[in-house]
Amino acid sequence: MDFGRSALIVIDVQNDFCPGGALSVKGGDEIVSPINSIMNKFYRVIATQDWHPEDHLSFASNHRGKSIYDEVEINGIKQVLWPAHCVMGSNGAGFHPDLDQNRFHLIIRKGTDPQIDSYSAFLENDKKTKTGLEGYIRSNNIEEVFLCGLATDYCVFFTAMDAAELGFKTTVILDLCRGVDMPENNIRRSINIMIGKGITMINISEIL
């Protein structure tokens, strides 16, 4: 495989998405060391952090009478209500302590606006507001992106779909992702939609 001008995008490998965290993803910590082991293959390594203010609209605690995992519609945008997670500056928002941050060229923080969520590292959930990641990638003449991280069926999925839509050759390293799988079979459904979009699915063995 040719990694010429390609970027690895490491999505949300943060304490709150790992076992013991506020929105723990099963096996989230298992991907840390293999992700470290592939970083040096890529021209650029970009990491993202979910980075929410305390009054963020995605927190169930900010909606009277609502429970965790309820779905609501706010300003015409569907929103799953999550336990409070990745509060900016908190330990839960920090990268997993074993993740090799020294190799990051860029860190993108998303979901910082209290009134809008951002699963994708490219566009907020209004599908309009840009995070700046597209500009960085184009400025660096990067044509191909490889994705790994958390969660397969949320932030990895939406980032991959936007990357493909923007015209970048997009590959998901599936065994370096872990998902929420909520609702049931959401991971499988997300993978099928990504494949339908022309996104390539590989495993780490195809990189090492």
Q: Is 12 a catalytic residue?
A: yes
| Residue type at 68 in one-letter notation | I
φ, ψ for residue 82, nearest 5 deg: -110, 160
110, 153, 162, 177: the catalytic one is 110
* 124 in contact with Zn ion (CB under 5 A): no
Which of the ranges 45-53, 94-102, 164-172, 200-208 carries the binding residues for Zn ion, by CB under 5 A? Answer: 45-53
Q: Is 110 a catalytic residue?
A: yes
**Rounded to the nearest whole angstrom, what is the least distance from the CB of residue 86 to ligand VGL in the complex?**
7
* 95 in contact with ligand VGL (CB under 6 A): no
Q: Is 155 a catalytic residue?
A: yes
Instruction: Map residues 101-140 to x or -, x wherever contact with ligand VGL holds by CB under 6 A.
Output: ----------------------------------------
With respect to Zn ion, which residue has the nearer C-beta, 57 or 199?
Answer: 57
Q: Give 179's contacts (C-beta < 8 A, 6+ positions apart).
A: 25, 150, 151, 152, 153, 154, 156, 186, 187, 190
**Rounded to the nearest whole angstrom, what is the least distance from the CB of residue 184 to Zn ion in the complex?**
21
With respect to ligand VGL, which residue has the nearer C-beta, 41 or 189?
Answer: 189
Binding site for ligand VGL (CB under 6 A): 12, 17, 50, 82, 150-151, 154-155
